[in-house]
Amino acid sequence: MRPCPSGLQWNVNICEWPNNVKNVNGSEPTKWPVVHGPFPTYTIAEPTTINTALSLQNNKFSSRPKPTIALNFGSSETYKVVCYFTNWAWYRPGHGKYVPEDIDASLCTHVIYAFAVLDNSSLTIKTHDTWADIDNKFYKRVVEYKKKGLRVSVAIGGWNDSLDSKYARLVLDPQARARFITSVLRFLEKYGFDGLDLDWEYPVCWQVDCAKGDPAEKHGFSALVRELSHAFKPNGLLLSAAVSPSKMVIDIGYQVHELTQYFDWIAIMSYDFHGHWDNKTGHVAPLFYVEGDTNPSFNGNFSIHYWLDRGTPPEKLIMGMPMYGQSYTLADQKHKSLNDKSLGPGKAGTYTRSGGFLAYYEICEMVGNSEWSVIRDDEGRIGPYAYSGNQWISYDDVADIRRKAKLISSLRLGGGMIWALDLDDFSGRCGCGKHPLLRALNQELRGIPGEEVKNCT
């Protein structure tokens, strides 16, 4: 989604859905850089071994007591596994093409369809890509998974749709909020979705620029969420959100305690902490702080505890995990460690076609080549990074997904979320079975049967 939504293509100087682009030779940009400091210094758990990392017994940041049992929160599953389906992956060539029938119903408890958008004039929900969603029946084909026991919601927003003032105008106008809610109820009923996932990025801090918005949007967003909840509950509809992992955005944009009363769950987008926009190498989704990172809050452990300490019930908090990596072009091939200088994004992948961004299935094929060297952190604080020549990639592998699942279990969180289904090795090209990352998450959290997934990278 950064600098414009994953799966979109450059059309001159803006991002467009592929079917709207006359010249489709552009790239498919990736997700966003999380806001970059400055941040105050906190005392954060810094594990010396994997066991101490996961027990969190020495975490001095959070003094709030943790529940001693996992809680059931309205489904047959103790833990949620929330999977985002993106309607643009079917535009990818060859083995990268992903369609609704590629979803493995056994590996998700919830599927979220990305994205619907907000109409700029009426401030009501509308379909964005009618060719995929309606003409090719993607809405219908994804909603069919409800028959297999999944809950299926639709997400509104995303990076590109959060560019201008329209969401601010929505939340600051009570009449606009009422019209929006009416349109959402009709939309969900018409297409059969179970609920709505809010992905405005972000209140006050539009596209992570906290100087753009009005501070009143923080309260307006809470009002919208409260009013949506009151309309949804009598109809048995789900209300969730994808939220920022950034301390600055959380402080400026969210009334956390208010919001958590009304959401069924909140998924932290705990990835893209680092990318080519930093002009130096870094890991896409650190679990813990690593010495040398100038931002001590840029890791999943910090973000989770910050949301918890602001009042989020643990059973409502979902940890996001990337099924992709961030790639870089090194400034000097001799300097290939963390925090070494880079010149910009790495080479685009064959299928995702986005500089600086590679799907896991592209990564596992690449690093299987003897020309690549893979480096792992002995303490498990971050996932691997790999390099070959002037190309450098950071990503999570099966072992890291398992570590994050253990963190979810130790804190009795609500579960895990993945971005996105089409980026895992969904066809099993790398030799470790289909959906190895997602399957590892399910084995750890839900105890699904089958041989333990091995690392392909």
Confidence check: pLDDT of 38 > 60: no
Q: Are 397 and 286 in contact (CB under 8 A)?
A: no
CA distance 261 to 136: 37
More confident residue, 321 or 39: 321
CA distance 158 to 84: 12
CA distance 43 to 168: 35
Q: For 57-70, how does the pLDDT look when each residue is reduced to its tens digit (9 = 90+)? A: 333 333 333 333 33
Query: Which distant-in-sequence residues (6+ apart) come within 8 Å of 309 by Cβ?
Result: 61, 62, 64
Mean pLDDT, rounded, of the chain: 87
CA distance 378 to 294: 21
CA distance 391 to 371: 11
CA distance 344 to 436: 29
pLDDT band at 77 (very low <50, low <70, confident <90, very high): low
**3-class SS of residue 422:** helix
First CA to last CA distance, the chain: 25
Q: Are 84 and 423 in contact (CB under 8 A)?
A: no
pLDDT at 290: 97
Strand 385-388, strand 391-394: pairing: antiparallel
**Residue at token pair 């870094």:** 282
Q: For 219-228, how does the pLDDT look when each residue is reduced to its tens digit (9 = 90+)? A: 999 999 999 9
Confidence check: pLDDT of 317 > 60: yes
List the one residue out of 360, 425, 420 whose CA is nearest residue 395.
360
Write the DSSP symbol of residue 236.
T
Write the DSSP symbol of residue 89.
G
281: phi then psi, degrees, rounded to nearest 5: -70, 150
Q: For 347-360, how does the pLDDT look when each residue is reduced to its tens digit (9 = 90+)? A: 999 999 999 999 99
Q: Are 412 and 69 in contact (CB under 8 A)?
A: yes
Q: What's the token pair of residue 392?
A: 């450098």
pLDDT at 65: 33
Q: For 278-299, how does the pLDDT look when each residue is reduced to its tens digit (9 = 90+)? A: 999 999 999 999 999 999 999 9
Percent of the chain's residues with pLDDT above 70: 83
pLDDT mean over 117-133: 98
Taking CA atoms, 157 is separated from 204, 234, 368, in Å, by 15, 25, 36
For residue 250, how many C-alpha atoms fall within 13 Å in the half-sphere facing its CB? 28
Hey, which residues are catalytic here?
A: 201
DSSP H/E element including 359 = strand 357-359
pLDDT at 418: 98
More confident residue, 11 or 442: 442
**3-class SS of residue 211:** coil
Q: For 164-201, how does the pLDDT look when each residue is reduced to its tens digit (9 = 90+)? A: 999 999 999 999 999 999 999 999 999 999 999 999 99
List the one residue out of 220, 121, 226, 210 whose CA is nearest residue 172.
220
pLDDT band at 457 (very low <50, low <70, confident <90, very high): confident
Confidence check: pLDDT of 74 > 50: no
Confidence check: pLDDT of 56 > 70: no
Which range is least confidently modeled, 142-151, 173-182, 368-377?
368-377
Q: Are 244 and 202 in contact (CB under 8 A)?
A: yes
